Chain A
Amino acid sequence: MADTKRSMSVSTRGPEAPPLSESSAGLLRELVAHLRQNRTQLREEWARRITRAELLTAMTEEEIFAEATAVYDNYVEALETGTFEALQAYSRRLSERIIPRGVETDEVVGIVLLLRDVLARSLFNKYQDNVEKLNRILDSYEPAANRIANTVAVGFVEERERIIRQQQEAIRELSTPVLQVRERLLILPIIGVIDPQRARQLTEQLLRAIRANRAKVVVIDVTGVAAMDSGVANHLVQTVEASRLLGATVIVTGLSPEIAQTLVTIGVDLSEMATVGDLQGGIEEAERLLADRVAPTLAPLQSREIAPDSQR
């Protein structure tokens, strides 16, 4: 117990431990040799303490032991070479493996700190007769050990953040599906909050879909949009105009009474936009437009009637 306390108080001196030039390199070599020699025993001790602390409960004992071996070897290598790239890459791969299994940040930080404690404890035991040497060994061990703990924790958190970003992206993609109802008719149901970023992405997705499907009419349904401010309304207008430049007519449906009142009150000009009460009406209107649009090549006689609205 006294050992652990000592380890805590000494480790606060941390990275600014005095560099001891050539002798420090020698101590580090001695330290690494010691850790290599006692590899099996220390590794087992560490795995035991992980199990006892009920960390990594999502993994079986064999898995913990296998990972512990790999982490241990990487740890010793990082201590020996003083380079952390290999460890960084390893912790990234490790995180990739264990995050989907539900391993939490505190567990990962916990096991690395446990390893630090196990190794420090073994150093205390080895050098307990020579306190002065113990101190010097710890001086070279602690900064490296702290940096290793840091590297692994940061690697884990970065991997998590990457996954979160990826998921956000996926949710965003999913939240704005562009659906083809029939040839040349697309539906874009918008649900939830529209922020500028989402509005932009939505527009880009729609424009790409218009070109890919050669759409002539698009129904944008905003039934699922709770509120709309002037920014969002302007995005909507821009989407409508950009679609027209690609030759598609946009019909907006499902403007709620609240939104209609807000838009008129704040004075957003939606007169350029074709609006229909609900999605059903919107699709009916779209079919009518499509019937007219397809007609000219088949029945030229009707062409004059559609002229005004195909120009808009």
Chain B
Amino acid sequence: MEVPILRQGQYLIASIQSALTDADLSHLREALIAQVGRSRCRGVIVDVTALDVMDSFAVRTLRDIAHMARLRGAETVIVGIQPDVAFAMVQLGLTLKGVATVLDLEEGLAFLDGRTKDRGLDPKHKRPPSGPFRG
């Protein structure tokens, strides 16, 4: 199951739609890291809203993506972890230490806006919900 990777201004958004195999996850990691460099992105958002299980391999892959993307010059944020999933994760000791996590896609975009030096926005306005970012 291929994970679509969308480009939104300076950010890449990978939206996971269904449960992934380990191979799918590895593929996602490679694709993301390759694209970060190719498209000169400043941020990566991985949306896991649709996942109702998160195993150790998935958590490790997400952490790896964050660390690898940072080496390539992009910040990563994981968005949309469900409350039940979060609870199960901490019980298993999978806490995604050192990786930014926020509630949902909107928060993720706001977070990256704060973290990157995007000066293209009018500071008086919040980020327009659908318009593309000019970098």
Contact = CB atoms under 8 A, between A and B. Distances in A.
A298 B123 CA distance: 5
Given A204-B83, A296-B110, A303-B114, A238 B102 contact: no
Given A245-B81, A246-B103, A297 B86 contact: no
B101 A247 contact: yes
Interface residues of A, number: 31
Interface string B114-134: 110111010110110000000
B115 A246 contact: no
A310 B91 CA distance: 23
B20 to A, nearest CB: 18
Interface of A: 203-204, 207-208, 210-211, 214, 238-239, 241-248, 293, 295-301, 303-304, 306-307, 310-311
Given A204-B87, A245-B95, A303 B103 contact: no
B62 to A, nearest CB: 11
Given A303-B117, A311-B98, 11 more contacts: A241-B95, A242-B89, A244-B95, A245-B96, A246-B101, A247-B79, A293-B114, A296-B115, A297-B113, A299-B123, A304-B117
Contacts of B113: 296-297, 300, 303
A177 to B, nearest CB: 17
A300 B121 contact: yes
A208 B114 contact: no
B100 interface: yes
The 6 A-B pairs at the shortest CB distance, nearest first, are namely A296-B114, A247-B102, A207-B83, A245-B86, A242-B86, A247-B103
B119 A300 contact: yes
B55 to A, nearest CB: 15
Nearest to A292: B114
Contacts, number: 89
28 contacts: A204-B83, A207-B86, A210-B103, A242-B83, A242-B86, A242-B90, A245-B81, A245-B85, A245-B95, A247-B102, A247-B107, A248-B103, A296-B110, A296-B114, A297-B110, A297-B121, A297-B126, A298-B124, A300-B117, A300-B123, A301-B123, A303-B114, A303-B115, A304-B117, A306-B114, A307-B115, A310-B100, A310-B114
Nearest to B114: A296
Given A296-B110, A297-B114, A211 B121 contact: no
Contacts of B86: 207, 242-243, 245-246
